[in-house]
Amino acid sequence: MCGITGVYAFTENGRVALNRLQGAVASLRHRGPDAGGVYLHGRVGLGNRRLSIIAPGEQANQPLTSDDGRYTVVFNGEIFNYKQLRAELASKGYTLSTASDTEVLLRLYERERQECLKKLKGFFAVAIYDKAEDSLFVARDRFGEKPLLYYKDANAFLFGSEMVALLELGVPQELDYASLYQYLQLTYTPAPATMLKHVKKLLPGQALYIRGGRVQESVWYRLSFDGEKAAQNPMPFKLQQEKLRQLLQQAVADRMVADVPVGAFLSGGLDSSIVVALAASQASSLKTFSVGFPEQPRFDETAYARLVAEKYKTEHTELLLSNQDLYQHLHDMLNSLSEPLADSSALAVYALSKRASQDVKVVLSGDGADELFAGYNKHRAEYRASQGGFAVGAVTKLQPLWEVLPKSRSSFTANKVRQLQRFAAGARLSPEDRYWLWASWLQEEQALALLKPEHRTAAQNRLYHARKSRLLNCISRNHYDMNNVLCADWHMVLANDMLAKVDLMGMAHGVEVRSPYLDNRLVKFAFSLPVASKIDEHAQKRILRETFKHLLPEELWKRGKQGFEVPLLSFLRSEGRSRVNECLSDAFIIEQGIFEVQQTRLIRQALELGKGLTTQTSAWSLLVFQHWWKHSSLK
């Protein structure tokens, strides 16, 4: 695991960025505190900060150059099957000088070029310079576990693991209003867009080949998903369970590969608990880490996590956070964001990663299971909406009532009203419009109203609609069922919110987060399963629950889904209130010239009164954006 950055200059003016490369590398030190280095040759510069996990000796430091001097690589990630691939290379007569997975990748590329990526089990962002061709190859893993951003103009191609590296290299700092518009709705900016107009994210499974002044795009991996074929899958449920058991056990075993201690995040939910149960059988002593909020019992799952930790005798740590604790982490957490990401649970992941970093460099997580096996509340809602019936009709007809009743995520009753209101609004819509509504925190007209009138045309332009259409591609296919929703979530929510969050928060403290549910063999299998294997009238994540319930305490596998959240409203109305008032003050909003001051004033007032369903999310999204805007010195 590392941070990488680099420059490929097309002109003399482009070479100016080479002088800034050391600064770009330094900006990524948090991603790789163990070592750093720079490679320079002619028009090309590559930089790396290393977190040493496999072959931690100096020989494996990066940039790493082949023995003949032709190829040089910078690599962020892990290849779990590197020992098998190393043996394959040895059988072909290759001699490797280090024990690292980075050199294995370099030699594979030398032999097979882009095709070598298909052999890799793991996650990565990689850049390889070929001195003989004077070419640069850049690629990202299958599902977007490791980030890579890039910028191209007539003078240079620049790339980096985080936006901060590109800012150090001197990219133009022009705000993309279409991205801001999507961010205000979703709380993140879906790839390939970023919050800066000319900076892009490399898509998962995508590669770039740069030579001379040309940049060629290619796709080396696409998610294998055929909804109609999955619906007709004839495999009996018991055989599906056996296959899932084998795949997940192997995925966990693969992700235990490291030359440093491996721990696990344990939320108390089904997904991470299964991972811990399987990992504990493969480790003599497994360290587990949970976070809780004793002042807000509704958001605290530590009791369930403790049951799993006790069952498997892990070395368990509970991090108990108050609103004051959250506030103490706030500034540093916001500084660690590559671009605005307003998933409020990032604050808890940041704090938990900081604590875990005292004991381990690697942690396992349960990310991806909800998107594979229909674990979110919106999946239950989609299932019921598609089934129809009297109850659906009754809830829909009562929409005027749900609109006027108090709604909040902070109490059971108010949260249930919130869910009924969103269900009633979505059940009337087409699948595409329903998906977008239930994926969003603000509706389009609400997000647009937050922007000053002169920016609204730039926000809701043809580019915005093209991006939205691409994100809904899974929903728009001829065959439609729950698997289409899961496909869309996999590409949009998981890749751009969940994985970005755990990467940034973990790497802020030099902690690598690995999820067995993102194993490509497991993912391919999960998307081949019919909807009935994942959700029915009685259960969500049915196959996961039924296959592994014997490993878990009964209290855990019988409970319903509880999202991993922080007590956001309570925090924003107490310790976080001063930051909201500062970022949304009338004077600053007017001087900044982006947002409509009447709207931000209403958000401040509603937050003080504890009113408005969308108030806390809007306030948090704006706070995160404003901090990033100031921290990045945008104008």
Token pair of 4, please?
A: 């990488």
Asked about 583 being catalytic, the answer comes back as: no
Token pair of 623, please?
A: 């706070």
366 appears as a binding residue in the annotation: yes
- Residues 31 and 336: their CA atoms lie apart, in Å, by 10
Cβ–Cβ < 8 Å for 503, 513: yes
Cβ–Cβ < 8 Å for 574, 326: no
Q: Is the dihedral of CA 131, 133, 135, 136 positive or negative?
A: negative
Strand partners, 126: 75, 139
3 appears as a binding residue in the annotation: no
Among 147, 145, 510, 514, smallest CA distance to 361 is for 510
Of the residues 2, 116, 474, 487, only one is catalytic, namely 2
- Residues 60 and 103: their CA atoms lie apart, in Å, by 8
- Residues 505 and 515: their CA atoms lie apart, in Å, by 15
What's 202's DSSP letter? Answer: P
- Residues 221 and 589: their CA atoms lie apart, in Å, by 44
179 appears as a binding residue in the annotation: no
CA angle 482, 419, 493 (to 5 degrees): 50
SS3 600: helix
CA angle 597, 598, 604 (to 5 degrees): 85
Residue 234 preceded by cis peptide, ω within 30: no
- Residues 129 and 135: their CA atoms lie apart, in Å, by 6
| Residues written for the chain | 635
Cα–Cα distances in Å, from 564 out to 105, 344, 375, 411?
Answer: 36, 10, 12, 15
Sheet strand arrangement including 512-514: 315-320, 287-292, 262-265, 362-364, 512-514
Cα–Cα distances in Å, from 104 out to 59, 140, 208, 331, 584?
Answer: 13, 17, 21, 39, 51
- Residues 509 and 542: their CA atoms lie apart, in Å, by 35
291 appears as a binding residue in the annotation: yes
Q: Please report, in range form, the residues annotated as the binding site for L-glutamine.
A: 101
Q: Please report, in range form, the residues annotated as the binding site for ATP.
A: 291, 365-366
Active site (catalytic) residues = 2
